[in-house]
Chains A and B, each alone.
Chain A
Amino acid sequence: MQARAIDAGESALPLAVEDAGLFAGVGETPLVELDFLEEIPDGVRLFAKLESTNPGGSIKDRPVARMLSAALRDGRLNGDRRLLDSSSGNAGIAYAMLGAALDIPVTLVVPGNASRERLQRIRAHGAELILTDPIEGYDHALRETQRLAAEQPERYWHCDQYSNDENWRAHYHSTGAELLAQVGEAAGSAPDAFVAGVGTGGTITGAGHRLREANPDLHITCVIPDVFPGIEGLKPLGAPDDIVPAILHEDLIDERIDVRMEQATAICRRLSKAGLFVGPSSGAYVHAALQVAATGRYPVVATVLSDGGERYASTGMWG
């Protein structure tokens, strides 16, 4: 499939930000090869970016750093307005952490069942939390955010990670570019397949475009979470009422693989025995990547391990 024309902007952050040390720590994460997974057939290699090494502990630091930088450049955060967005936790932590570093007041709308560890971290950075009824799910938090932004434009600037193009651009210029360089060095070629899911669509869209530019035959697999209980970090998609993020370029996706929570956590436990302590979305990606690898059609498969396992201790997934 040919890569379509996109406006990826400049590779550097739109504006040099004040706390360069913290921002400089975002990205350039390690690449690990999951060669200990015995299902991987001979002749196939599976690589993953270890995103828990970002300062906020997840891949979400990348888009949030870029979105904040662009907002500052464009003057959207001048004056007393608060940065507003919805998040299930990882982006919320990145907003709270980087906002605190830049003295930007942050308000986050989060479903009330977000894990306790995430809420504690967000509060620790001083962000304001608005908890929505967990029974109404993640999209309800998103709609509540849209309502607040529309009703109080003098109070809030809605960063809107679901429609902010700086989100996928961050993954184009960092996640995707790093995968190309690191996988290229390790395997001698660009990835033949890329596996990711949709939280906002930023990773699969940004990294997907970058990797397909390097390899027009790149196969892109999208992980689809089970309807219930879902998989943390992955948005519900497929039902008629599900909100489809505006930044998601669905035409990039060649294949969708359904993954249940039990399959994801089973992989997490196997990865932990090899020293990789990751969250459920990472387990889901690796579960799907193993299916892609098993076809034997893609010699080099790449994915991301979006966050660490500590954030899920209260869910009982580690026993």
Chain B
Amino acid sequence: MSRVIVRIPTPLRGFAGGNSEIAAEGADVGAVLSAIGADHPELLERVMKDDGQPREFVNIYLGSDNVRTLDGMNTPVGEGDVLSILPAVAGGAG
């Protein structure tokens, strides 16, 4: 089990007690996010599908690497690692 920091994007902070970062423990990316989801279920349902995979257009970064290019939600995490939850695109056609 490693303790990691999860960075929360602005639109999701309202579902995370207003926090921009949350510390959580787990052995891999999926476990860390599930641990956060135990306290913040509305956050988790906007990030992950029922099958435990990230929703379409949601990217999870471990440091600067998109976990889709690593081992997905099974990517191991280490003590002090930083996970970031990001939309795949930026936001602001009309």
Question: Distance (Å) between the CB of A304 and the closest chain B CB?
Answer: 7
The reply to whether A236 and B11 form a contact with Cβ atoms under 8 Å apart is yes
Measured between beta carbons, the chain B residues less than 8 angstroms from A141 are: 90, 92
**Mask for A300-318, Cβ within 8 A of B = 1, else 0?**
0000101100001001110
The reply to whether B94 and A233 form a contact with Cβ atoms under 8 Å apart is yes
Interface pick from A3-11, A72-80, A108-116, A209-217? A108-116
The reply to whether B91 and A317 form a contact with Cβ atoms under 8 Å apart is no
Measured between beta carbons, the chain B residues less than 8 angstroms from A69 are: none
Question: Distance (Å) between the CB of A141 and the closest chain B CB?
Answer: 8
Contact for A230 among B14, B84, B87, CB less than 8 A? B87
CA A138 to CA B91, docked complex, whole Å: 6
Task: Given A135-B86, A317-B56, check contact A233 B10 (CB 8 Å).
Answer: no
Check: A121 CB closer than 8 A to any chain B CB: no
**Mask for B7-36, Cβ within 8 A of A = 1, else 0?**
111111010000010000000000000000
The reply to whether B57 and A317 form a contact with Cβ atoms under 8 Å apart is yes
Interface pick from A81-89, A99-107, A180-188? A81-89
Which among B7, B84, B87, B92 has the greatest number of chain A C-beta atoms within 10 A?
A: B92
CA A60 to CA B93, docked complex, whole Å: 7
The reply to whether B88 and A113 form a contact with Cβ atoms under 8 Å apart is yes
Question: Distance (Å) between the CB of A188 and the closest chain B CB?
Answer: 27
Check: A125 CB closer than 8 A to any chain B CB: no
Contact for A113 among B7, B14, B89, CB less than 8 A? B89
Interface pick from A16-24, A25-33, A39-47, A200-208? A200-208
Measured between beta carbons, the chain A residues less than 8 angstroms from B10 are: 135-137, 139-140, 241
CA A90 to CA B58, docked complex, whole Å: 20
Measured between beta carbons, the chain A residues less than 8 angstroms from B84 are: 134-135
The reply to whether A135 and B7 form a contact with Cβ atoms under 8 Å apart is yes
Q: What total of chain B residues lie within 8 Å of the partner, measured CB to CB?
A: 26
The reply to whether B93 and A58 form a contact with Cβ atoms under 8 Å apart is yes
Measured between beta carbons, the chain A residues less than 8 angstroms from B91 are: 88, 111, 137-138, 230, 232, 234-236
Q: Which residue of A lies closest to B89 (CB)?
A: A232
Question: Distance (Å) between the CB of A65 and the closest chain B CB?
Answer: 16
Contact for B90 among A134, A198, A239, A262, CB less than 8 A? A134
Question: Distance (Å) between the CB of A280 and the closest chain B CB?
Answer: 8
CA A197 to CA B91, docked complex, whole Å: 12
Which among B46, B86, B87, B89 has the greatest number of chain A C-beta atoms within 10 A?
A: B89
Measured between beta carbons, the chain B residues less than 8 angstroms from A89 are: 89-90
Task: Given A140-B10, A229-B55, A229-B58, check contact A235 B89 (CB 8 Å).
Answer: no
Which among A110, A134, A136, A200 has the greatest number of chain B C-beta atoms within 10 A?
A: A134
Question: Distance (Å) between the CB of B22 and the closest chain A CB?
Answer: 13
Q: Which residue of A lies closest to B91 (CB)?
A: A138
B25-55 CB contacts (< 8 Å) to partner A? 46-47, 55
Q: Which residue of A lies closest to B84 (CB)?
A: A135
Measured between beta carbons, the chain B residues less than 8 angstroms from A135 are: 7-10, 20, 84, 86
The reply to whether A199 and B93 form a contact with Cβ atoms under 8 Å apart is yes
The reply to whether B90 and A110 form a contact with Cβ atoms under 8 Å apart is yes
**Mask for A220-255, Cβ within 8 A of B = 1, else 0?**
000000111110111110010100000000000000
* 9 CB < 8 A contacts A-B: A86-B92, A87-B92, A111-B90, A114-B90, A136-B9, A139-B10, A235-B92, A236-B91, A239-B14
Excluding A200-B94, A230-B87, 12 further A-B contacts by CB distance (< 8 Å) are A88-B89, A90-B93, A138-B90, A138-B91, A199-B93, A202-B94, A227-B12, A228-B47, A234-B91, A239-B14, A262-B56, A307-B93
